Structure 1
Amino acid sequence: MVISLRRVWENQGITAKLRLSFALLFAIFLMGVGAGFVGLAVVRGAEADIVANLELRNGVLEMESQLERARRLYRDFLLQVPLVGFAQAQERYGQPALAAAARVIALSENLRRAMAAMPDGSDMAKRKIDMRFFTSTAKRFSQTLLSENELVILVADPETGLDTQIGAAVRQLGVCLEGQDELAFPAREIGVLLQQYQLSRQRPVMQTAVNKVEALRRRIAATPGLETARKTEALRLCDTFDKVAARLMDTATSMSANANDFALQARAVDPIAEDLRRITALEVERAKTRIGWATKLAGGIVLFSALLGLGCIFWVARLLHRAVTSRIVELTRYAGNVRDGHFGEAIDMAGSDEIGLLARALADMNGRIHDLVGGLEDKVRQRTLELDAKNRELDAKNQALAVLSLTDRLTSLCNRRRLDQVLSAEWRRAQRYGTPFSVIMIDLDNFKDVNDTFGHAVGDAVLVRVADILLAVVRETDVVGRFGGEEFLLVCPETTVEDARVLAEALRRELQDTDFPLVGRITASFGLADYEADPGPAALVARADKALYRAKQSGRNQVIVAPTTAAVSRTQ
């Protein structure tokens, strides 16, 4: 009979076994004691929920308070800067606003941790997304406030602020233009516009000032009676005004965007905060209700179970251990091995109950996972190889595109963009280290007649042939490019004016002695200039271009060297 009962027990499902076991355990005295402990645990859990919800409520209230305080202080800071000065406004309102923002960031992190600890079944846990949005929005508000404060410091700092820089530039411009009434009056107008902008922060006002500075720059450049030094200084101050004004307008745009963010964040946060306060209050009431019924239920169960015996508890425990617990432990160990990657391990667990079915299902799943992992690894390996091939192809195309962007399409010489890069680099190197370098401007003589007589196709062939000659004659360190049309530019690093003249003469003779198909002989004029502390690469090229013009005017087919700055000064 015992064997028959055991077979019947083993053929029962988990639910039936648990029902029978708890029916027996319900008859014992210790079941009541356990019920008492369960009731106590429920009470303690409810008390913990009350404390947690009160902490959340207080955190939300404090965060709201700090957000409002930060908004108010920062608003007062912006209003008081023109009245009491930047330093006092920063001390009275700016720093406290930043402290409130830092407190908001700390509170947001505390609220995140508190929400993570909430039970999954509570209403607050269901509103985790709203809480995350609330805390992230509050944190973003504080970060935006910090960013806004940095922008205000950038603009209004009395020592290094953009307002100070642009004001100093306007004052210096007025001093520089004293005695020139036609120039000093626009400078004063610019100063008045700057004061209007600093009061209103309206972009059109600053744009008007920038336009007047541009007009003043043209008038300064066209004024013949203004000394060279004063003219240079005035133009430099105009450039400084333009740069600082651009930064001011960009900063004002960023500050306006931050102000819009403040308004949007306030509208988004306030309803959520109100809802969170309501939910926390409701959770507190529910926890108090749980404490009441748990206390009553535990007391009743304890009194009822005191009438029952203790004998069958050990027998029920043994049956449950053999039928459920030990088998679950075995399944847990097997699942852990599968998790660690031991897919080849097998499990053999008899029984037709849920645990036996689960064991067989886990074994089948293990086999399926093993097959899927193997297939997935093969696919990943294949996709990796394909991606590497695509990346190599893309790199090759990018390199080819980079070469094309710096090469003249017809002559395969450097294009104007590449020439500008080389000129800028050599000019900076000469300016820093004092090394010599020269440029040679080349223009084919009467090339328009070639195009008009023989057509543009022949003209293009001539240009290609000239490019080949230039590449054959110049040195490896020289850079030759097509400057535009029939003009070519040769950049000669580490080359004095005399060495450049020799190279130019060699090129002139080579071109003169070359017989071009259909066209015959053609000549070219050369303008040469070397670096003499020019204000920029464009100035150096301009001097070479003037020398080229002189060569054209003097009969073509010759090399003319641009005069030095000292020689020009003596001539003047």
Structure 2
Amino acid sequence: MPLDPAPSSPAPGVRARLGVTSRFGLAFAVVLAAFVLGGAVNFASMMIIHDAEADIQTSMDVRQKVFDMDAGLEKARRLYRDFLLTYQEVGFAKAQETYGQPAFAATARVIAVNEELRNLMPAFVAGESLRRRNMDITLYLSIAKRFSTVMLESMALLTALADPENGLETRLDQRMAELKAVFASNPNLSFLVREAELDEKRYRITRQRPSMQLAFNKLSRIRLALGEMDSMPMQRKLEAIHLVDDYATLASRVLDADVEVRSKINDMSLQAKTIDPISQELRKISQDEVTRSRERIERVSGAALWINLGMTLLGIACAAGAAAYVSRGVTWRILAITRGAERVRAGNLEVTVDPGGRDELGALAEAFNQMTGRIRELVDHLEETLRGKDRELDLGRRALDAKQRALLQLSPADRLTGLCNRRRLEHSLRAELRRHKRFHSAPFSVILLDVDLFKTVNDRFGQQVGDLVLVRIADALEDLARETDTVGRWGGEEFLLVCPETDANVAAKQAQRLREAIGEIEFSLVGHVTASFGVTACVPDDDENGESLLRRAEAALYRAKLNGRNRIEICI
């Protein structure tokens, strides 16, 4: 089935004069020239826009860092204020963890941003207005760093004052406890110590110096009273005076630390009032610079847009002309070869393609036609070979199936458990009946057992687990059976034992041993299972046969199931 080329394809003579590679080269050169021209215009526009964007980025960096510093300072002030308000209530360690350490971190971040902004300013050339405010910027940076430094110093003072391990207030509490212990035996001095303690506690709450001065007055009275006491030993008196002086010294240091902290707080407040107007002015100037740069970008982008639009239209026209030129000589012929390949893939090997010329695509079409012809020859030969092989395989498969059926009929063993199969058991049962009737020997017995609730095991745990249970039971039966007994799988979960020269009572005892052994086996996943047993013996009757014997064993097994399972029933 030949495939014709498209009607719009050029004549073969025209196609022969210009190859596929030349067509693509010419089309590519035209499109490339259009894109080079458009790229040059775009490059000039992008350089202008890049400079404006660099100005915007620098201005935005300055503004962002000012914002970051303001936010960091505000966060540090808020955390520092919360620390001052809460450390006496929640404890210094908790307040330090909740507010103090975050305040340190925020302050450190402000100092880092301060340095970044300081390094950025020498390279900042975006706006004349910002350069004129260089002194304000320098002042802003210095104040911000000073604010951070003062906050760190005030936090260090507060740590020295209220540290729970070695702070001044902690040491003051220790000295007060020692004073109370020393003067515990003297009611008057003990009363003065308690009053001094109350004054000191009142100072800690209100931070009013008169409260601490009252405590100093109480200490002076205590020291004066110690000097007038003749009953106290001199050594003890000197130790008590030393404790009073040490307490007073620590209290004075607490007052000095509070004064320094207040001074730092006032310093931070003044710096905050100074820095806020400068930061607002810096943000406003940076935003103005951003606005001007964006206006410049919009003007350049507008002009570049119209130029790009014209270049795009030119490029589209060149690309369309090149595409039409290539399509007439290349695309339609490629599509014809592609459709031919699709039909070959679908199974139609009678397809041929018109070469349409003597260029590369014509050579490809000729090669395609030769390939399809060769494939047809190979397929015909292969089909004939496969038909012969199919006939040979069919004959071999039939012979193999016949041999497998013969082997299954001759095999005496059950494939799952390895015990005797039903055919072997029936043969053993008939042999015992013949021997019994011929020689009138001692009776023989049959034990038929069935695994209780075996269907539940299969349904719950799967057939593979059920098969493992049957194999374990088969092993137990084989281990406990006598050498003269014949043990086999009767079918499904039923097993049969043929016991020569054994009456029903002995067979029942043998069944009891088997029942107990099965109940003691621990099966993986399943746990324990039980089995029911039916026992019968061959009676001295000429009409006795294997079917009657098995019916009695099945009746006994059925009765064991009805009576609750996991038991033995005898039927004679």
Shorter chain as denominator, the TM-score bin is 0.3 to 0.5
Name which one, 1 or 2, has greater alpha-carbon Rg: 2
